[in-house]
Amino acid sequence: MAGQHPIPKLTEEDLVSRMRAHDSSAMSVLYDMYSATLYGVVLQIVKIEETAEDVLQESFVKIWNSFDSYDASKGRLFTWMLNICRNQAIDTIRSKHHRVNSKTENISTDTRLGFSADGFKPEHVGVRDMIDNLNPEQKHIIDLMYFKGLTQSEIAETYNIPLGTVKTRARTAVKLLARFFKGRA
């Protein structure tokens, strides 16, 4: 593809090491490797492209500034970054400013896969396929938590499901998804 720079091949350990050394070129590699996927997740939550771009940028600043807190023994780098992006997106949609602005935006009513045909789609990396392998209850919880930005308490309250049940379904689904990811790594 003309105009695009090839992404250097680095192991996750090399990338983490370079990020810990505050190597700004490693941040560029990190961005090139993960930004499209993370943008897709953020867009699922915030629903507005401009807002998703802002959230993604804020998230990468947070990733750079807090990289020393990443602990590889607790999980993969992508998962840590995904949580930062997801939390940043949820914080954004809960902010008063976003709620006021989103009322004036013309937002698509299709919230399940609200991407344009030429935009990023989670299917490109198999995330949606992996989630589709969960049982319906687990899939519903994951969709609500990770793509719609609801907390477990909000899910329990809104859908009249006991909080313990929501937590169990979420925990089981995350464990299954982790197995899927490990199988692909």
Q: Which residue has the tokens 């169990």?
A: 168
Q: Write out the DSSP string of the chain.
A: -TTPPPPP---HHHHHHHHHTT-HHHHHHHHHHHHHHHHHHHHHHH--HHHHHHHHHHHHHHHHHTGGG--GGGS-HHHHHHHHHHHHHHHHHHSHHHHHHHHHS---S--SS---TTS--GGGGTHHHHHHTS-HHHHHHHIIIIIS---HHHHHHHHT--HHHHHHHHHHHHHHHHHHHHHH-
- The CATH number for 1-119, chosen from 1.10.1740.10, 3.30.460.10, 3.90.950.20, 3.40.50.1220, is 1.10.1740.10
* pLDDT at residue 1 greater than cutoff 50: no
| pLDDT value of residue 123 | 44
| pLDDT value of residue 52 | 92
Q: Where are the domains of the chain?
A: 1-119, 126-185
The pLDDT-based confidence of 113 (bands split at 50, 70, 90) is: very low
Query: Domain 126-185 adopts which CATH fold?
Result: Arc Repressor Mutant, subunit A (1.10.10)
| pLDDT value of residue 111 | 41
| pLDDT value of residue 122 | 47
Q: What is the mean pLDDT of residues 24-31?
A: 90
Give yes or no on whether 1-119 and 126-185 have one common fold: no
Average pLDDT, the chain: 78
pLDDT tens, position by position, 132-185: 778 888 888 888 887 777 788 888 888 888 888 888 888 888 888 777 766 654
Q: What is the mean pLDDT of residues 44-61?
A: 92
pLDDT tens, position by position, 33-44: 899 999 999 998
0.75 surpassed by pTM: no
